[in-house]
A and B are shown apart, each in its own frame.
Chain A
Amino acid sequence: MVERNRILDWLTWAVVLAGIVLVCFPIYVTFVASSLTATEVLQSPMTLIPGPHLIENYRTALFVGVGESSVPVGLMLFNSLVLAMGVAVGKIATSIISAYAVVYFRFPFRKLAFWAIFVTLMLPVEVRIMPTYKVVSDLGMINTRSGLILPIVASATATFLFRQMFLTVPDELTEAARVDGAGPMQFFWHILLPLSYTTIAALFVIQFIYGWNQYLWPLLITTDRNLTPIVVGVTQMISRGGDAATQWNLVMATVMLAMIPPAVIVVLLQRWFVKGLIETEK
């Protein structure tokens, strides 16, 4: 700090606390609501002291489900996990090998291939939603996990990031590997891949969250409730307008369950997360 200033110090804490309240208050209220009975939630104003029904509510949500014709939230969590892992692993795997091809080989149309991948960065799935849906339905991939995951796997960001990272790898390493008789795939497995671990970790955190938080695409592709991920499932539990017909205590338990896995990843892997966020946007 440059100088001492009592008033500013107090103001600092006031602002920071206000910020934390702004960011965390809705989550606290959600937590409280998930520990009450359905009627207690409907009382206006709702209490801000947690009730005793926490475990009961989570158990009902996880194993029975919320509302009629709904599947257990446990299954939704599993679907989300498959989706998030599929997207993260798929994106990293396809990107790292295509970046390797673009950087370490010379072949016709190399530049064109790179730009063809790169331009996808510009079009989020929301923008081209109708025709993409049609392609997936023509391929008979509606209500399949591959139809859910594959269209969002193409990743220009990840390819670009790996390319940048590979370009910083010294040529001497490649030469040394070649002198020792290593072929291109051996070089990739034993030298390039271990050098990429930090980039992979950072990308994994970002892409896992990206996959977990997908909404529109799963909403359209998984009309079969057994495939619905939790983020989509939650919104379907709420009757339109969010009136009294909604079992809010169970919905809020589901909301908590939907937030916990990505939140845990961000908090535990904060270092990788910050690195990933700042590097993918460069």
Chain B
Amino acid sequence: MEKRVVFNERWLPILLLMPQLLITIVFFFIPAGEALYQSLFRQDAFGLTMEFAGLDNFRMLFTDPNYLASFRTTAIFSVGVTVFGLAVALVLAWFADRLIRGATTVKTMIIWPYAIAPAIAGVLWMFLFNPSLGLVAHWLKMLGVDWNYLLNGTQALVLVTFISAWKQISYNFLFFLAGLQSIPKSLLEAAAMDGARSWKRFWSITFPLLTPTTFFLLVINMIYAFFDTFPIIDAVTQGGPAQSTEILVYKVYNDGFKGLDIGGSAAQSIILMIVVTLLTIVQFRHVERRVSY
């Protein structure tokens, strides 16, 4: 879509674009280019010499068991976050949509935690799950669970997955509720007259009509799990114990800033850029032609 009526200035538009373009070039294109450049070189720990390495950094990554383990962790983590976050939010939204009284208050109560920073969400739950003083940890021990996420890698991964999904509930809830409210009530009434019970109506009408919303949230939650959960991991486990919660984006940071492996970290950045680009393309293609019936 284009405007028919435009202004005929020559320099004004360039001037108006300048601030945004400058920021984009300096803090975006230069760093991205630098990452690409660095990923092709090998550098010693002191940053004194650079040696051209071709695709060696990438080849090393894909033969490095730690990196492959991080890929596996990220896959489990992101699927867990997405499925759990979406399921809880959908159930909540479906029931909240049935409410007649108190609907606004309920909505506000569930939506406002969107404002909580991921790092803060990490601290909130870390306090509850802390093996020595946490309240929920105490309950778990009463149930006979040997809870110590600081030593047990599986428990640590479950914990960060849970916290990350919890943080997304408000967001998913909001979109599911909007999706549910846009479904014409007449469709559901017609089905009810034909004798379809609630459960049947949900699966044969509501759920298919929610497909666009669900698909959109699926992609958004994947992107969230891949990249925006960094603060949760850093606040709760720092990738530990023994790398059991080291997702890809945490490894970029760890290898770059703690391990000082510039080339390796840059190569990881490039791989992540490709992943996020693919996810974004999927998201936009979906926006272009909304999945619908």
Check if A and B associate.
yes
Binding site for B on A (CB under 8 A): 1-3, 5, 8-9, 11-12, 15-16, 19-20, 22-24, 26-27, 29-30, 33, 41-42, 44-46, 48, 93-95, 97-98, 100-107, 110, 113, 116-117, 120-124, 126-132, 134-136, 139, 150-151, 153-154, 159, 167, 171, 174-175, 178, 183-185, 187, 209, 212-213, 215-216, 219-220, 231-232, 234-235, 238, 240-244, 248, 251-252, 255, 258-259, 262-263, 265-267, 270, 273-274, 277-278, 281-282
Q: Is B157 on the interface with A (CB-CB < 8 A)?
A: no
CB distance from B159 to the nearest CB of A (A): 12
Asked if B153 is at the interface (CB within 8 A of a chain A CB), the reply is no
CB contact between B106 and one of A16, A113, A154 (< 8 Å): that residue: A16
The chain B residue with its CB closest to the CB of A128 is: B31
With both chains docked as a complex, state the minimum distance between the C-beta of A263 and any C-beta of chain B, in angstroms: 4
Are B98 and A122 within 8 A (Cβ)? Answer: no
Beta-carbon contact of B5 and A175 below 8 Å: yes
CB neighbors of A among B173-215 (8 A): 174-175, 178, 185, 188-189, 192, 198, 201
B178 / chain A contacts, CB cutoff of 8 Å: 278
Chain A residues in 8 Å Cβ range of B128:
26, 29
* Chain A: CB-nearest residue to B23: A154
Nearest neighbor of A234 in chain B, beta-carbon distance = B123
Q: List 29 A-B contacts (CB under 8 A).
A: A2-B192, A3-B192, A16-B92, A22-B169, A23-B170, A26-B127, A97-B16, A105-B12, A107-B10, A113-B17, A116-B21, A116-B25, A120-B28, A122-B280, A127-B249, A127-B272, A128-B273, A131-B34, A134-B34, A135-B26, A139-B26, A150-B23, A154-B24, A167-B1, A183-B7, A258-B120, A259-B120, A263-B112, A277-B174
Q: Please name all residues of chain A whose beta carbon is closer than 8 Å to the beta carbon of B106 when the two chains form the complex.
A: 16, 20
B75: interface (CB < 8 Å):
no
Q: Are the CB atoms of A131 and B123 closer together than 8 Å?
A: no
Q: Known: A1-B100, A175-B5, A184-B7. Is A132-B31 also a contact (CB below 8 A)? A: yes
Interface string of B52-72 (1 = CB under 8 A from A): 000000000000000000000
- Known A105-B6, A116-B21, A171-B5; contact A231-B169, beta-carbon cutoff 8 A: no
Residues of B with C-beta under 8 A to A11: 95
Cross-chain contact B35 with A128 (CB below 8 angstroms): yes
A282 to B283, CA, bound (A): 10
Report the Cα distance A165→B52, complex, angstroms: 48
B115 to A, closest residue via Cβ: A262
- Alpha-carbon distance A26/B114, docked complex (angstroms): 14
Instruction: State which of B108, B124, B171, B280 has its C-beta within 8 Å of the C-beta of A277.
Output: B171
Residues of B within 8 A of A (CB): 1, 3-10, 12-14, 16-17, 19-21, 23-32, 34-35, 38, 88, 91-92, 95-96, 98-100, 106, 108-120, 122-128, 130, 132-133, 135, 138-139, 150, 166, 169-171, 174-175, 178, 185, 188-189, 192, 198, 201, 216, 220, 227-228, 230-231, 234-235, 238, 249, 252-253, 256-257, 262, 265-266, 269, 272-273, 276-277, 280, 287
B residues in contact with A243, CB < 8 Å: 130, 132
Partner of A15 from the list B29, B91, B119, B169 (CB cut-off 8 Å) is B91
Find chain B residues with CB under 8 A from A97 CB. 16-17, 19-20
In contact, A251 and B5 (Cβ under 8 angstroms): no
Q: Which residues of A contact B269 (CB under 8 A)?
A: 127-131
Query: Min CB distance, A51 to chain B, in Å?
Result: 15
- A sample of 7 more A-B contacts (CB under 8 A), given A20-B109, A151-B27, A263-B116, is A26-B125, A98-B19, A130-B257, A153-B23, A154-B23, A215-B231, A274-B111
Q: From the candidates A1, A8, A42, A258, name the one contacting B133 in the complex (CB within 8 A).
A: A42
Residues of A within 8 A of B16 (CB): 97-98, 100-101
CB <8 Å contact, A46 and B120: no
Q: Report B-chain residues with C-beta under 8 Å of the C-beta of A44.
A: 132-133, 138
B21 touches A117 (CB 8 A): yes
CB distance from B254 to the nearest CB of A (A): 11
